[in-house]
Amino acid sequence: MVAPSKSAPAPAPTSATSATGRMAAVQDMARLQRILFEAEREFVRTATTLIYRVGEPELKYLLCQHVWESASHARFLRERGRELSGFGTGENVRPALRRLFNEAVMPADAYVALAGFYRVLKPALLAAYRHYLQATHHLADWPSRKLVEEFIMDEERHAQEILAHLGTADDPVWIAHLGSALLAQGGLLGEAPALPLPAGFTWESEARAYQHPATCNRGKYPTCSSVFSHDPDETPIVRPWLVDPKTDARVIRLMVYVWLMMELDAVDYLATVFYDTPEAPFDLHHDMARHLWDESRHSQFGFRQLPKLGVDLMTVEHSLDLYNILIQMPPHERYAMMTMEFEAGSFPTKALVMDRVRELSDFEADTLLAFDRNDEQNHVRYGHRWLPEIMKLCGDTRPTDEFVKATQARFAELAKIHGGRTPHALPPEQRLTGTKILKLAGVV
């Protein structure tokens, strides 16, 4: 029990010395966490522009992984930040930070842009996390420190994982340009003195608008319009064979691995939606980042399994039709076609495929297909959750069902114009076809 004091109570604090003064230590760290949250979500929004512009599938896969991990960092920062006084309730990104990340996407050469992200912005993010550890108290802010320590390990790993893909472009001028933009705001956290921009510096993102390329990049791999057809001498996936009970299960397994590998087209066109929705709720971009990483993993299922079954990946043409058509549509239509048409419509056929592949007692194939189906079910749920939100962002007020039907019809019309325009890169005797799959499967 505290003895009563005979002295007069202290005067009430003024507005200048009340909560802010008492909570200054918490608010200072909450402010830094808020900036880190904004930086991570801006990386998610802008680094996705690299995915469809670089060619190597394994680089696309890696970028999808990094984007997902950054989205996870942002989510944990937001959750921890909301426990702290001063973090704020909204999710807006400060204009100076958004301008910096908008600038990073601008190089016409995707590999120059890649270097800007990984030689300027990602090292700045790592430095910001390290600064946070130096600035905070090891015990008072223990929950935040444990998160930041994990994120530092992720960032260090990202830097190592990307090294093999850097150094392929002439990038010193752009690195200096983006570095100057970063220095002008004193680092991501403002932890260093801000330096003036060099004389003649021009913000490329303010001089011109970023535009998605008309087609996606598949690097050295051969391309075509579609890997699906009814002709076994034309494409590797023969539609009737997928559902014909007479088709050997070994043939179906090979065809479905090609189908899974071609989910790379979903990776490419979904990646375009992030930049086009800058005012989206963070949770929308978080779930889209998970969706993107899932599609990337599904593509890897085929990319890694086909060679084990004797397929030379350089004989497998990559289909470009979906990207080429969808890029003509606004982001809410792209997202609607992906979730409410392509994914929702694939379940009946994939169910039959899964049952047939189980005949082979191939545990790995069964596992991959089961996780693919589980993920796709989640993606359709994402569609139901987020399509109305993306429609609002795009100013579309139609009922969702009406909008989806109209979008399906619009896609069909655009397909007549922009579909089927990518010729086979390989002649029939060189490319993988259904007929060749019969031989690989040992059926003929």
| Residue 99 contacts residue 201 (beta carbons within 8 Å) | no
Please tell me the predicted confidence (pLDDT) of residue 440. Answer: 96
pLDDT in tens, 388-430: 999 999 999 999 999 999 999 999 999 999 999 999 999 999 9
| Residue 234 contacts residue 433 (beta carbons within 8 Å) | yes
The residues, any chain, with a CB within 8 Å of residue 69's CB and separated by 6 or more, are 154, 158
Answer whether residue 351 shows pLDDT above 70: yes
175: number of Cβ within 10 Å:
14
Which among 378, 290, 281, 278 has a CA at the least distance from the CA of 72? 290
H/E stretch holding 223: strand 223-224
**Ramachandran region, residue 11 (left: φ > 0; alpha: ψ -120 to 50; beta: rest):** beta
Top CATH class of 25-190 equals mainly alpha
> What is the mean predicted confidence (pLDDT) over 125-143?
95
Distance between CA atoms of residues 112 and 175, nearest Å: 8
pLDDT in tens, 219-248: 999 999 999 999 999 999 999 999 999 999
pLDDT in tens, 205-218: 999 999 999 999 99
- The SS3 call for residue 212 is coil
Residue ranges of domains in the chain:
25-190, 223-440
Distance between CA atoms of residues 50 and 441, nearest Å: 37
Q: Which residues of 178-188 are buried (b: 16+ CB within 10 A; e: fewer)?
A: bbebbbebebb
| Residue 29 exposure: Cα atoms within 13 Å on the Cβ side | 24
